[in-house]
Amino acid sequence: MELLIATHNTHKIEEIQNIIGPDHTVKSLADYDLYDEIIEDGNTFEENALIKAKYCFEKTGIPSLGDDSGMVVEALGGRPGIYSARYAGNHDFDKNIDKVLREMDGEKNRRACFTTVLCFYNGKEYYFHGEMWGKILNTKTGEHGFGYDPVFVPEGENITYAEMSLEDKNKISHRKKAIENFLDYNRIFKIW
């Protein structure tokens, strides 16, 4: 069964393919040259996930999954939140992380939550969540993953997402939980 993931982010595609497994084919926007037209101007993760999924389904007719994810930092009142990928520079995570660390300078409360909202769209819309609480370090550590992974230590762990292999991150991550919720729901409702 084919699923179109509404992203050009090869890290996201790789994570999702790894979680969903080899029985299903995950396609990306690159396979359809669609990305540049998507304008993510929603006010919530939900709205942005829907914008992406709906756009892809309407262009291709293939059931589509929009993933909007980000880092919600308690001491920053929830920022960067839906602006995670463009907090300082568009998909420039060196700059984005640096801005967060600067704003967190001297802050004792390091609590943060990595969040994924998925919207599955096949003419109707369905939403799934995954969250992982953890803490923000003062410096970047680790070479794997993407985004804020080098400064995020999930609860119950003592290394960052970026210090984990893809397989290890995918056992526990916010994105893993969201996709499991989607797959559990699909076992009942056969939406995909």
Q: Which residues bind a copy of itself (CB under 8 A)?
A: 43-44, 46-47, 72, 78, 113, 115, 124-129, 131, 181, 184-185, 188-190
Look up 168 and say whether it is catalytic.
no
DSSP 136-176: E-SS---SSS-TTGGGEEETT-SS-GGGS-HHHHHHH-HHH
Closer CB to a copy of itself, residue 108 or residue 190? 190
- Please, what is the minimum distance in Å from the beta carbon of residue 92 to a copy of itself? 25
CB 96 within 8 A of CB 148: yes
For the CB of residue 118, give the shortest distance to a copy of itself in the complex, in Å: 11
Catalytic residue among 41, 67, 68, 92: 68
Q: What is the dihedral of CA 67, 166, 153, 155, to 10 degrees?
A: 80
Name the residue with tokens 């609860």.
155
Cα angle 139-143-144, degrees, rounded to a multiple of 5: 120
| Shortest reach from residue 121's CB to a copy of itself, in Å | 11
C-beta of residue 26 within 8 angstroms of C-beta of residue 17: yes
Catalytic residue IDs: 68
